[in-house]
Amino acid sequence: MFDIENLLYSFERKQKTTQRRDLLLLEQNIESLYKNKTVLLESNLKHILSINSISQYKELYVQFSTQSKNKLCIYSKIQKEIAKQKVNKKERTLDLGAIFLQKVSLYFQERLCQSRRYQNLKHIIQDEHLFLKDLIQQFKSQVQKISYRTLVFDFHLSKQNKSVLGRTEKEQLINYNQKMLMDEQFVLDFFNRYPCLLRSISNEMRKSKKIILELFDRYEKDKVVIAKNTLRVDIISKVKKIKLGLGDPHCDGRRAIAIQLEHGKIMYKPRDSSPEFFYSMLINKWNSVIKDPNYVIKVPKGIYKEEYSWIEYIPFNECKYTIDIHSFYKRMGVQMAFLYALNATDLHFENIIAHGSHPVLIDLECLFSIPLSNRNPSNILGAHYKIQNQIARSICSIGLLPTSNEPTKDISGIGTGMSNKIVVKSPQITKNDQTEIKIKNLDLNYTMFKPNQPKFKGKKILVSNYIDDILQGFEKAYQYIEQDKVQFIREISNQKLHVRYLAKSTNKYTSTLDLSYHPRFLHHAMDRELFLLKACEPLNRSNHNISIQKNEFRELLNGDIPYFTVDIHAKDLIASNHKRIKKVFSYSPFHYVCEKIKTFCTNDLNFQMEIIRMSFLTSHAEKKTVQKQAVPLKKSIQKFQQKDFCITKAKEIGDYLFSIATTGTNFEKRNICWLQSSAKTENTKILKVMDDTLYDGITGMAVMYLLLWRVTKDYKYLRIAEDMMEDMMCRFQSNQLHLPSHSIGAFSGISSILYASLSFYFYTQNEKYILFSYAMIEDISNLLQLDRHYDIIGGVAGLLLVLIKFYEITRDQDILEVAKSCGNFLINQAIHINNNEVGWKGISQKLLTGFSHGNAGIIFALQRLYTYNKDEEIVNIIRKALSFENNNKVNTFWIDLRKSNKQIDAMTWCHGSPGILLSRLELQKSIHVSFSQQIQLDITFALSNILQHGFHNDNSLCHGRIGNILILLQYARRVHDKKLQKASQNLICEIVKEMRFESENPLNPRENIGIMTGLAGVVYALLYVCDDTLPNIMTLG
């Protein structure tokens, strides 16, 4: 049973022994949110709420009295006043909760209009009736956002309790909406069931009333200067209407408000806008010296006050002439240079208005961005930290560069020009044909168009056609700043600025706030507290600051997005209540920006311009069609005489890769890492710190340098390899590896490290590597049941192959037992399609063919296990998995099942005939005659497919021609086909001779450096070609 007292937060209660309430919901929420992590919960309670134990929190939950009876009296009065509101029949609709929302809005209007301040200021309104009608509609929308889940929940609860009348759901909806919600007693009981909803709605009323009256008061005071300086009119305008809810609520509900006046429109920003006015000053100085009008920048005019400002309203306008488009992007490039110099962040499509040929920036809160102090000083010297800092200081951190060529998902400031809409998943109340009420995440047009992108004659403008204009503007402004760094820094030093600091992403705060209004957390205020305590945990424990966490909790509890600012000349953070959090930063934002500007030089300019070029090439270019051609083998060549070339070229590329590496010190030893341009999704490329995977990370680089030492005997490569391996061993022990969580696979998971340590032991015979390998087994075994990948890349099949390698090196029966458990896990997770076919549904939730993610790779791993574990169940699963893969063929080609259009044979190691050939070669070892005929047929088909269609325009091992030719080479060695072997070896050399390495341009998006995706793989291929004792990394040999 719930009652209105449950709206009190823990800090508003005092313990009482006479009254006892139910603990069940709290216990369920503790289990759901903290999952037995009682130490973490007690820490949060102690540091945030000053409650010493979970038991003390529970006591306050069930046995308490209020510290202020007046508070409860106020909420009780609001509850009664809302319940008794009368709604006109004209305003009653079938929309769920419409009557409830109308009651709340009517009471809000009543409170606002009865206010003495409102009565004294309402003369500034042109038409009070129309103004209030529009205002109440907006307030209704605000209340709906926090109450829709509860209304849906309560409607279904009422149906279960049979308290709602009607035979069909439509009749029940009418009864609930127009009878029950109209009933005064029902609404009173409704708030008793969900007292925290009453509190949240009351808080919205209080904040909205305060904000509106504050706006009126300030407009009355400033209206003359607004008319003269911003609107440029002689007449003092009255307010026609205001648009609330622009942006996120901060500092007790304050947001930007658009004001429609009799003569014009203006923006009101209830915060310190000094960053925008400072930026305008810098730009106006630029405008005064620039001679070419195509580079002159428009900035909004405004009136700056310490706590608020009035800003010129900038409408979206199309370009009039084609030359305007070029000017638009030149001006965009100019502003990118200034924003880069000022270390701006969080600038997305909402922050730019395409005003004809001018990109106009709005809401420049996040200038002078700076990282928190790192609480582990040794990390600052490490290679990973250096690269993270390089990315954080780069142009890509601003938020302007596009991150996807899926136009409806791109939220970047510049965009792609491919769409003027943004689509987000948003919870909405839906009705099906039977009017069944549900909440679903549906695609919602977040805005009719993205105003950041220019248009010409109503047509979309592709940014890819104007990259040169952006680069010209950026270069011009960058050089302007570089040429007079001292003066630029002096101008900053004279400013007294407070800029916003983002402790977490706004999206994270917004989703947290939205979920805190779930009915599960609205029965009892301490349940909502519990949820927000968990949500406010730091993203990075090494940078944990309890004062930041406290302020986040306090603001979210109040329905606000946490808002922090920083004085650019100080190291302290300032919370929204103006309290200082001391020495949060190692340097002041001013110092951080100054140091950055001092590094401006030609090399940095070229680096940033390459990032810009890379972003647009990736995001705008149409996806290249993979050209599949016949492999140009010259079988007449009888000898392979290019071993010297292979070794020389391998060393050359290895040296080049090390030259672009970042070195640092970690655990008092040298560590090595790379800045990498990497595919985030199929359509997205980002800069990132190289992770620790075998696929395209540090493990792959370490193995490559280990093998380079093995072949060349040059110990400098062993030192490089061992430095990387030892660093990963130390980071494993301190839980600092950079790997996908819960991934145990050999290419993208924790087994990558195990594979590398076994390789190092095999070639160096250093005992520390085998001891480390044993130490890893317990940790890896604990992750086995969590695996949902199953495949070679990220799942247990890859782990199984590494364990077989481990067993072959040590002949340790305990290792074989772990391998058997992996095999059993795979067998148990198989999806039985019918009596004759099985497959595995990994993360993609699709049954797949192929080596990296599909049946071929899992078959390969199970066959390797069968070599040492003659279990007929393994044979049975292999037979059925083989049947599924071969039933997904068209003629001789295997179907790629990743996409709905079922493309025929990707012709790569990862998907298609090349990987399937590797799988079938392993199955040849099977003694089961039932396999042999089908396997030989598959080998014939796969080999023919590769020879006819396996020569791609990509050079990687994973999905390129070098990988395919190495597979041909392995086949040739297996079947002793000397002609094919020599032809494959020579073809690899010819491909490498034709390659152009971008030594001046390591960020070329067409060139990766990982072992399965880029240059390290080329080194490996050259070594594999000239030394047949090396393992095939594509099969984890």
971 confidence band (pLDDT: 50, 70, 90): very high
Q: Say if residues 815 and 803 touch (Cβ distance below 8 Å).
A: yes
Q: In degrees, to the nearest 5, what angle opens at C-alpha 361 toward C-alphas 355 and 366?
A: 165
CA distance 93 to 89: 9
Whether residues 329 and 393 fall in one domain: yes
* 488 and 381 part of one domain: yes
In this prediction, residue 967 carries a pLDDT of 96
Confidence of residue 613 (pLDDT cuts 50, 70, 90): confident
With beta carbons less than 8 A apart as the criterion, state whether 791 and 798 touch: yes
Residues 205 and 314 in one domain: no
DSSP collapsed to 3 states, 338-405:
HHHHCCCCCCEHHHEEEECCEEEECCCCCCCCCCCCCCCHHHHCCHHHHHHHHHHCCHHHCCCCCCCC
Greater pLDDT, 86 or 998: 86
Q: Is the dihedral of CA 815, 817, 821, 824 positive or negative?
A: positive
- Name, of 695-704, 930-939, 944-953, the range with top average pLDDT: 695-704
* Each residue's pLDDT tens digit, 306-319: 899 999 999 999 99
Q: Which amino acid is residue 87, in one-letter code?
A: V
pLDDT at site 38: 86
Q: In what order do the strands lie in the sheet with 580-581?
A: 498-501, 564-567, 573-574, 580-581
Residues contacting residue 953 through CB under 8 Å, at least 6 positions apart: 624, 626, 627, 961
pLDDT at 72: 92
pLDDT in tens, 758-778: 999 999 999 999 999 999 998
Closest to 1024 measured CA to CA, from 486, 503, 643: 643
- Across 319-346, b (16+ Cβ under 10 Å) vs e yields beeeebbbbbbbbbbbbbbbbbbbbbbb
> What is the per-residue pLDDT across 137-193, written as a single tens digit (0 to 9) for each?
999 999 999 999 999 999 999 998 889 898 888 888 889 988 999 999 999 999 999
Both structure tokens of 242: 């205001």
CB-based contact 261:237 (threshold 8 Å): yes
3-state class (DSSP) for residue 241: strand
Q: Which amino acid is at 110?
A: E
The DSSP symbol for 164 reads S
Tens-digit pLDDT profile for residues 529-556: 999 999 888 755 555 688 999 999 999 9
Give the position of tokens 């440029």: 232
Q: What's the pTM?
A: 0.84
The whole-angstrom distance between residue 644's C-alpha and the CA centroid of its chain comes to: 46
Q: Which two tokens stand for residue 696?
A: 């395209």
**What is the mean pLDDT of the segment spanning 814-823?**
96
Q: Does residue 195 fall inside a structural domain?
A: yes
Give whole-number Cα distances, 437 to 153, 180, 426, 440, 752, in Å.
10, 17, 16, 10, 48
DSSP reduced 3-state for 18: coil
Q: Are residues 173 and 65 in the same domain?
A: yes
- Residue 903 has which token pair? 């493309």
As a whole number of angstroms, the distance between CA 645 and CA 642 comes to 5
Same domain, 95 and 18: yes
Residues 6+ apart with CB under 8 A from 201: 82, 104, 143, 146, 147
Which domain, by its residues, includes 527? 506-586
And the tokens for 15? 């313990």
What is the maximum alpha-carbon separation in the chain? 100
Comparing CA positions, the residue from 154, 185, 188, 184 lying closest to residue 172 is 154
Contact (CB, 8 A) for 689 and 391: yes
C-alpha to C-alpha distance for 560 and 849, rounded to whole angstroms: 49
Same structural domain for residues 294 and 378? yes
| DSSP code for 180 | I
* Domain stop point among 565, 586, 607: 586
Q: Sorting pLDDT into bands at 50, 70 and 90, what band is 870?
A: very high
Same domain, yes or no, for 464 and 573? Answer: no
The pLDDT value given to residue 682: 52
Residue 924 lies in a domain: no
> Do 463 and 533 reside in the same domain of the chain?
no
Q: For residue range 350-375, list pLDDT tens digits in order.
A: 889 999 999 999 989 899 998 765 44
pLDDT of 921 over the 90 cut: yes
pLDDT of residue 544: 67
Q: What local confidence, expressed as pLDDT, does residue 791 receive?
A: 94
672 SS3 class: strand
Q: At residue 303, does pLDDT exceed 70?
A: yes
Q: Are residues 36 and 73 in the same domain?
A: yes
Token pair belonging to 833: 């399609």
Task: Say whether both 473 and 351 belong to one domain.
Answer: yes
Residue 393 tokens read as 């200081």
Q: What SS3 class is residue 895?
A: strand
How many structural domains is the chain composed of? 3
Query: Which pLDDT score is estimated for 621?
Result: 44
Give the mean pLDDT of 571-582: 93
User: Considering only CA atoms, which of 707, 788, 807 is closest in space to residue 749?
Assistant: 788
- CA 908, 909, 912, 917 dihedral sign is positive
**What's the pLDDT score for residue 855?**
96
d(CA 318, CA 330): 16
Q: How far is CA 416 from CA 297, 360, 447, 449, 464, in A?
A: 21, 17, 17, 13, 7
Rounded to an integer, the average pLDDT of 444-461 is 72
Q: List, in order, residues 6 or more apart from 587 with CB less than 8 Å away.
A: 370, 571, 595
Q: Residue 18 phi/psi, 5° resolution? A: -85, -30
Residues in the chain: 1037
Residue 892 resides in a domain: no
Q: Which residue has the higher pLDDT, 712 or 164?
A: 712
The H or E element containing residue 581 is strand 580-581
**pLDDT value for 36:** 76
Task: Find the range with the poorest average confidence among 19-33, 170-184, 310-324, 644-658.
Answer: 19-33
Q: Does the residue 553 lie in any domain?
A: yes
Percent of the chain with pLDDT over 70: 90
Q: Are 750 and 780 spatial neighbours (Cβ–Cβ below 8 Å)?
A: yes
State the pLDDT at residue 1: 46
State the Cα torsion 337-340-345-351 to the nearest 10°.
-10
Predicted confidence (pLDDT) at residue 429 exceeds the cutoff of 50: no
> 24-38, 97-111, 274-288 — which is least confidently predicted?
24-38
452 in Cβ contact with 354 (< 8 Å): yes
Q: What is the mean pLDDT of residues 223-245?
A: 92
Whether residue 396 lies inside any domain: the answer is yes
Given a cut of 90, whether residue 730 has pLDDT beyond it is yes
Q: Are 198 and 77 in contact (CB under 8 A)?
A: no
Higher model confidence: residue 440 or residue 155?
155
Please, what is the average pLDDT of the chain?
A: 88
Residue 563 lies in a domain: yes
Q: Cite the annotated binding site by residue number.
A: 910, 958-959
**Average pLDDT of the segment spanning 875-898:** 92
Distance of CA 102 to CAs 109, 146, 416, Å?
Answer: 10, 14, 42
Kindly state whether residues 335 and 375 are assigned to the same domain.
yes
pLDDT tens profile 994-1018: 887 655 444 554 568 999 999 999 9
Q: Give the confidence band of 448 by pLDDT, cuts at 50, 70, 90.
A: very low
Residue 702 burial (CB count, 10 A): 30
* Burial bucket for residue 724 (CB in 10 Å: 0-12, 13-18, 19+): buried
Q: Is the pLDDT of residue 885 over 50?
A: yes
Instruction: Classify residue 4 by burial, with Cβ atoms within 10 Å: 0-12, 13-18, 19+.
Output: middle
Rounded CA-CA distance 991/995 in Å is 6
Kindly indicate the confidence band of residue 444, based on its pLDDT and cuts at 50, 70 and 90: very low
d(Cα 109, Cα 332) in Å, to the nearest integer?
44
Rounded to 5 degrees, what are φ and ψ at 309?
Answer: -155, 160
At 676, the pLDDT band (50, 70, 90 cuts) reads: confident
With respect to residue 483, please indicate whether it lies within any of the assigned structural domains: yes
Residue 486 burial (C-beta neighbours within 10 Å; 0-12, 13-18, 19+): exposed
Asked if residue 53 and residue 185 are part of one domain, the reply reads yes
CA distances from 377 to 548, 588, 667 (A): 20, 17, 11
Annotated binding-site members for Zn(2+): 910, 958-959
- Average the pLDDT over 27-37 and give the result: 85
Overall average pLDDT of the 898-925 stretch: 88
18: confidence class by pLDDT, cuts 50, 70, 90 = low
pLDDT of 557 above 50:
yes
Vertex 438: Cα angle to 437 and 439 (nearest 5):
140
Q: Are 355 and 328 in contact (CB under 8 A)?
A: no
- At residue 906, φ and ψ (nearest 5 deg) are -70, -15
pLDDT-derived band of residue 447, with 50, 70 and 90 as boundaries?
very low
pLDDT band with cut points at 50, 70 and 90 for residue 623:
very low
Name the strand (E) or helix (H) holding 1022: helix 1015-1026
Does residue 96 belong to any structural domain of this protein?
yes
